[in-house]
């Protein structure tokens, strides 16, 4: 029997939880989606969904992990019942499938940091060619290996000695770096125009349901709510630890970083960009890398006449991006390893298995961006279903009982009111169903061959891969239960 | 009015998001201090 490891302090737990949620999505995806959805018009629904999707789900995950002391599969079996272990399996599988290609993205960040430090990124005359050369070489495989190796070593060191210590340092530095970049960006001549666009709401966008659905999607993907990652970290929180305030800090902290990153990017692009700044921010580029890996390095290399200033700001930008990516990757490795070790396998062995499988399954994404895009579409979408399953587990357990006993129980600093019952029982399932229907029906309209499962981002590839996993997990349900039934 | 709109929205959005973050962090600090003094 392995000795249970715990987070040693509340701040260690909070910074680690922030490490889950603050990822490349805050810096990379957020600004692009804001630009595509009318600037300030997007921010209003984005804040509303923080209250009715992200924070309630984060609270739920904390409560499930803290009280079951198991990863997603065990948590579902213990709280929803033995019939629903496959739902926990789905939550764990989806985050693990995301880990396979997220390690590749983390590797990209590491490579760009390395290229900045070595000077090659700042001296290149063509940033698109720089990206093309890198992405078509075997270097992404090597950096995928490095990213997974670093994350696995941290997880191997345990919760208090590895995950907590690393997150305390990296997330604290990340906040400092973001603040330095923010001060520099908003003080650039012309930055005000970018901020003006960023905060100006336009009625036609506010009345567009697509803007609202995109805001909900951003919350579902970006805050870490509904991934099962928080549930896994919560296994290691002490009994006397609070849930509600910690969950709120995580949700608001994550969105604070997104807001700062948006202000940095809009200020920089409007101040230094040539041509139409909005099209520069909203352009996707290959694998949605256009803004972060092609356009921003170009702007940073022209930040001032001084090479040292440009070198400093480009380096800290990619340092922040690498920290954000790595802390999220660490939580994914922990979730996959915890899910395996819950079946009685030694934790260290489980981590090694996860890193080897993770590296092997990441290779197709590292070698072919179309494969990565496919996986991002299929499993990113699946997260919405994970969120719905988590709310289902609570409904099955009894929403009011869950709130009173597990959330407002031992250690709670504040008591959560009955509003939580309404959100979990009605709003989360409705939001999940609307989002899934909207995305899948949209995917039919953007691909004429929407029934071809071998296309990168369409209806059939999503339904096909989901069905395989769901049917397999459903058939394995009895086996999944065996390990937990006698506990 | 239109010139002030982005400023108003910025104050509201930043107020809610950053204000919320700072509020919950300071609330957590307050509770931690309370717990420590109880233990003493």
Q: What is the pLDDT of residues A143-179, one digit of tens each?
A: 999 999 999 999 999 999 999 999 999 999 999 999 9
C-alpha dist (Å) from residue A391 to A24, A45, A110: 26, 21, 36
Question: Out of A10, A240, A256, whose CB is closest to B28?
Answer: A10
Question: Out of B6, B20, B25, whose CB is closest to A199?
Answer: B6
Best mutation target among B6, B14, B32 (most A Cβ atoms within 10 Å) is B6
Name residues whose C-beta falls within 8 Å of residue A419's C-beta, 6 or more positions apart in sequence. none
Query: What is the rounded radius of gyration, in angstroms, for the C-alpha atoms of chain B?
Result: 17
The answer to pTM > 0.80 is yes
Spatial separation of the C-alpha atoms in residues A415 and A171, rounded to whole Å: 28
Q: Distance from A266 to chain B by nearest Cα, in Å?
A: 14
- Kindly report, residue by residue over A321-376, the tens digit of the pLDDT: 999 999 999 999 999 999 999 999 999 999 999 999 999 999 999 999 899 989 99
Best mutation target among A9, A18, A34, A252 (most B Cβ atoms within 10 Å) is A252
CB contact under 8 A, A252 and B27: no
% of chain A exceeding 90 in pLDDT: 72
Least Cα distance to A39 among A300, A388, A277, A379 occurs for A277
C-alpha dist (Å) from residue A422 to A98, A242, A245, A435: 30, 22, 19, 19
- Kindly report, residue by residue over A242-283, the tens digit of the pLDDT: 999 999 999 999 999 999 999 998 998 888 877 777 777 776
- The DSSP secondary-structure symbol of A241 reads -
Note whether B21 contacts A: Cβ–Cβ < 8 A.
Answer: yes
Asked whether the predicted pLDDT for residue A443 surpasses 70, the reply is yes
Q: Distance from B37 to chain A by nearest Cα, in Å?
A: 15
What ipTM was assigned to the predicted interfaces of this complex? 0.93
Nearest residue in A to B4, CA atom: A200
pLDDT band, residue A67 (cuts 50/70/90): very high
- Angle at which helices A85-118 and A369-397 cross, to 10°: 140
Are A443 and A458 within 8 A, CB to CB?
yes
User: Tokens representing A290?
Assistant: 């256009």
Which residues on B lie below 8 Å from A198 (Cβ)? 6
Which residues on B lie below 8 Å from A195 (Cβ)? 6, 10
A369-A370-A372-A375 Cα dihedral, nearest 10 degrees: 180
Spatial separation of the C-alpha atoms in residues A271 and A295, rounded to whole Å: 13
User: Tokens representing B12?
Assistant: 């509201």
Distance of CA A115 to the CA centre of its chain: 25
User: Tokens representing A440?
Assistant: 């899948």
pLDDT band, residue A126 (cuts 50/70/90): confident
C-alpha dist (Å) from residue B16 to A111, A252, A478, B19: 36, 9, 46, 5
Q: How crowded is residue A475: how many other Cβ atoms within 10 Å of its Cβ?
A: 10
Spatial separation of the C-alpha atoms in residues A23 and A426, rounded to whole Å: 29
Name residues whose C-beta falls within 8 Å of residue A399's C-beta, 6 or more positions apart in sequence. A420, A421, A424, A425
State whether the Cα torsion A206-A60-A15-A112 is positive or negative. Answer: negative
Length in residues, chain A: 487
Spatial separation of the C-alpha atoms in residues A182 and A174, rounded to whole Å: 12
Q: Name the interface residues of A facing B (CB cutoff 8 Å).
A: 10, 14, 40, 43-44, 47, 50, 195-196, 198-201, 240, 242, 245-246, 248-249, 252-253, 255-256, 259, 413-414
Note whether B1 contacts A: Cβ–Cβ < 8 A.
Answer: no
């Amino acid at each position: 029997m392995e000795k249970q490891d715990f987070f040693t302090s509340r701040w260690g737990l909070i910074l680690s939880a922030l490490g889950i949620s603050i990822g490349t999505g805050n810096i990379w995806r957020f600004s692009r989606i804001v630009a595509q959805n009318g600037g300030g018009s997007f921010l209003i629904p984005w804040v509303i969904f923080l209250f009715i999707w992200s924070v309630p789900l984060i609270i739920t995950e904390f409560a499930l992990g803290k009280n079951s002391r198991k990863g997603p599969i065990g948590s579902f079996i213990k709280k929803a019942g033995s019939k629903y272990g496959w739902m926990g399996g789905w939550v764990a599988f989806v985050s693990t499938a995301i880990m396979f290609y997220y390690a590749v993205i983390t590797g990209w960040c590491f490579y760009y940091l390395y290229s900045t430090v070595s000077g090659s990124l700042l001296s290149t005359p063509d940033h698109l060619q720089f990206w093309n050369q890198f992405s078509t070489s075997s270097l992404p495989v090597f950096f995928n290996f490095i990213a997974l190796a670093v994350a696995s070593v941290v997880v191997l060191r345990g919760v208090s000695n590895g995950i907590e210590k690393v997150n305390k340092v990296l997330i604290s530095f990340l906040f400092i770096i973001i603040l330095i970049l923010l001060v520099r960006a908003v003080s650039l001549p012309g930055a005000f125009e970018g901020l003006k666009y960023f905060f100006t709401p336009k009625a036609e966008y506010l009345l567009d349901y697509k803007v609202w659905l995109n805001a909900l999607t951003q919350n579902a993907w970006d805050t870490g709510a509904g991934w099962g990652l928080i549930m896994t970290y919560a296994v290691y929180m002490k009994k006397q630890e609070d849930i509600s305030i910690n969950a709120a800090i995580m949700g608001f902290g994550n969105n604070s970083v997104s807001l700062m990153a948006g202000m940095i990017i809009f200020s920089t692009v409007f101040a230094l960009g040539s041509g139409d700044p909005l099209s520069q921010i909203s352009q996707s580029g290959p694998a949605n890398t256009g803004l972060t890996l092609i356009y921003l390095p170009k702007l940073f290399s022209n930040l001032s006449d001084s090479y040292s200033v440009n070198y400093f700001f480009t380096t800290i930008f990619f340092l922040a991006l690498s920290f954000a990516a790595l802390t999220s990757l660490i939580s994914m490795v922990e979730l996959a390893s915890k899910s395996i070790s819950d079946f009685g396998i030694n934790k260290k062995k489980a981590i090694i298995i996860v890193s080897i499988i993770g590296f092997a399954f990441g290779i197709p994404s590292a070698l072919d961006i179309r494969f990565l895009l496919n996986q991002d579409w299929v499993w990113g979408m699946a997260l919405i279903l994970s969120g719905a399953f988590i709310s289902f587990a609570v409904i099955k357990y009894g929403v009011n009982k869950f709130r009173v006993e597990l959330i407002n129980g031992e250690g709670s600093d504040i008591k959560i009111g009955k509003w939580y019952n309404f959100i979990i029982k009605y709003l989360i399932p409705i939001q999940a169903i609307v989002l899934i229907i909207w995305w899948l029906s949209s995917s039919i309209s953007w691909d004429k061959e929407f029934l071809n499962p071998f296309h990168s981002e369409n209806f059939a590839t999503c339904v096909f891969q989901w069905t395989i996993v769901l049917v397999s997990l459903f058939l394995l349900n009895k086996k999944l239960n065996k390990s937990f039934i006698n506990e | 009015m239109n010139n002030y709109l982005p400023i108003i929205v910025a104050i509201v959005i930043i107020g809610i998001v950053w204000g919320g973050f700072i509020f919950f962090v300071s609330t957590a600090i307050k509770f931690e201090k309370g717990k420590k003094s109880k233990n003493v």
